[in-house]
Amino acid sequence: MSQENEQRLRFRDAMASLSAAVNIVTTDGPAGRCGITATAVCSVTDTPPTLLVCINRNSAMNPVFQENRRLCVNVLNHEQELMARHFAGMTGVSMEDRFRLEEWQLGALGQPVLRNTLASLEGEIEQIQSIGTHQMYLVQIKQIALSEVGNGLIYFKRNFHSVIHQMAVPA
């Protein structure tokens, strides 16, 4: 094995130790409707509210996101693991059928918003950069929906895990 390939595999193993929130990133518009499970999502700034979303360049979703120029990051709760698996392509369910499985609604920007998520953030793609194997989307958030209840879903060591929010007990 080449040193470069060994370094790539070691990097991937290291990143498996970096727990990350599980999201379904969706889009709808002139290029059609699609979605993908993503953990490479992070906050960039709160003024203006901006997220970074990274998607593998080999994904067939990239041209759809790029033409539609809008998307929604749906932050999943711990009960939505099966949806994460569907949108990760782990179950063989077609894209069309994925949007029939649970309750979806159109958000203020016309993007698919999954009900009962911890948060849904709709925005406009402001910049796209290619780095290595991924496309990086800088998304200015225009609409935010938050839930007051629910527990998190993370991806850690190549598997899904629930994050239970413990309420502090008064002493």
Q: What is the mean pLDDT of each run of 10 residues along the chain (171 residues)?
A: 80 68 97 97 96 96 97 97 96 95 91 97 98 96 93 85 70 60
Residue 52: per-residue pLDDT: 97
Residue 28: per-residue pLDDT: 98
Q: Using the Cα atoms of residue 83, residue 129, residue 49 and residue 39 in order, give the sign of their dihedral.
A: positive
Residue 170: per-residue pLDDT: 64
Residue 149: per-residue pLDDT: 85
Q: Using CA atoms, how far apart are residues 136 and 158, in angstroms rounded to an integer?
A: 22
In the chain the beta strands, taken as DSSP E runs, fall at: 20-21, 23-27, 34-38, 41-46, 49-56, 70-75, 104-106, 112-114, 119-131, 134-146, 152-156, 159-163
Question: Does the predicted model carry a pTM greater than 0.75?
Answer: yes
Q: Using CA atoms, how far apart are residues 29 and 165, in angstroms rounded to an integer?
A: 36
Residue 161: per-residue pLDDT: 85
Residues 6+ apart with CB under 8 A from 92: none
Residue 121: per-residue pLDDT: 98
Give the 3-state secondary structure of residue 148: coil
